[in-house]
Structure 1
């Protein structure tokens, strides 16, 4: 399942006029970007890049960003820890992204449309990793599973 990560210069990076910022709300990220990416595999936007968060260290991500300064936004595909399991793999070569706190529900009007999780980067291997001095934080957004099941035909669920 595609997800959006907000992590926080490349030749492909867009030059913006002074004062311009790309700072969508949580609801806008879900409805205008993630949902469209989920519906159209080839959907792309000038504002959000694509990254493999398991093959990239956090300090490499700014160079992969399409635009702007901190925070940066990326689409990424969920990587499962085990082929037959449901646990998400969040490890990189030098560390891992650890979930902190409780996920935040994202609503549009009164309907639940997605979730936002906060992750912090730790060096080393779980559970003995240590929080990095750089304080890398990622906000991971995903569609609500009930919403994605309503959208997809039964053959694609």
Structure 2
């Protein structure tokens, strides 16, 4: 399992034609759960990093794609449990309600929670909202045999200290990385709706399926900019024949 390592210098580098597009269930039960209990991962495609040590546009990886990171919860205060979400230029602010993520094949007592956060430039509470979005996944346990619907999110107990974060620019955003660094300004959401903050949708799959998918156009993906990754060339020799 560990031989499938696609992380280089803290960034994900997949062979041309492949994309990492996991569902919520795959993120929680194939990656986060395995990371939490030190089981082998399906593939080493998610680097470990302290997300809040970076502004979102400075994180490793391709800013045009969703980026995934394992990170640990850092307390804001030494004697408290409140998470530190501040970066050099701003802070991550939670929005909406946490989404529960379950799997029929798993115990009902263990589930995932997905928290949505929006990046704000400046200092709270007067920061300027941007189009940078984070989905923060954590593994929780209800500690009871009650059904999921009868247990409040506030009663769920977080397991260990690992999170898996998906960071991306809101779909349809006109915000560019260079503009974000050189010309700071506030950006509103396209629809002005907190609930419409999801990434581009991916095809649904079962909680046990692979999260690495092959993406081609007419059988070939000719738009990939990588030249060589792990011995894979951008275009195989037969394309030139």
Taking structure 2 as the reference length, the TM-score comes to: 0.50
Deviation at 1:125?
A: 0.9
SS at match of 2:123: coil
| Residue matched to 2:90 | 95
Deviation at 1:13?
A: 3.9
Q: CA RMSD in A?
A: 3.1
CA distance in 1, matches of 2:80, 2:138: 18
**1:71-86 correspondence to structure 2 within 5 Å:** 71-86=66-81
Contact 1:54–1:92, Cα closer than 8 Å, also in 2:
yes
Q: Greater shift after overlay, 31-40 or 42-51?
A: 42-51
Contact 1:51–1:75, Cα closer than 8 Å, also in 2:
yes
| Residue matched to 2:136 | 140
| Residue matched to 1:14 | 13
| Residue matched to 1:129 | 127
Deviation at 1:126?
A: 1.0
Deviation at 1:12?
A: 5.7
CA distance in 2, matches of 1:77, 1:11: 16
Deviation at 1:16?
A: 1.7
Contact 2:55–2:89, Cα closer than 8 Å, also in 1:
yes
CA distance in 1, matches of 2:135, 2:102: 16
Gap change, CA 1:119 and 1:82, over 3 Å in 2 = same
Report which of the two has the higher share of helix.
1
CA distance in 2, matches of 1:95, 1:127: 11
Matched residue pairs, number? 137
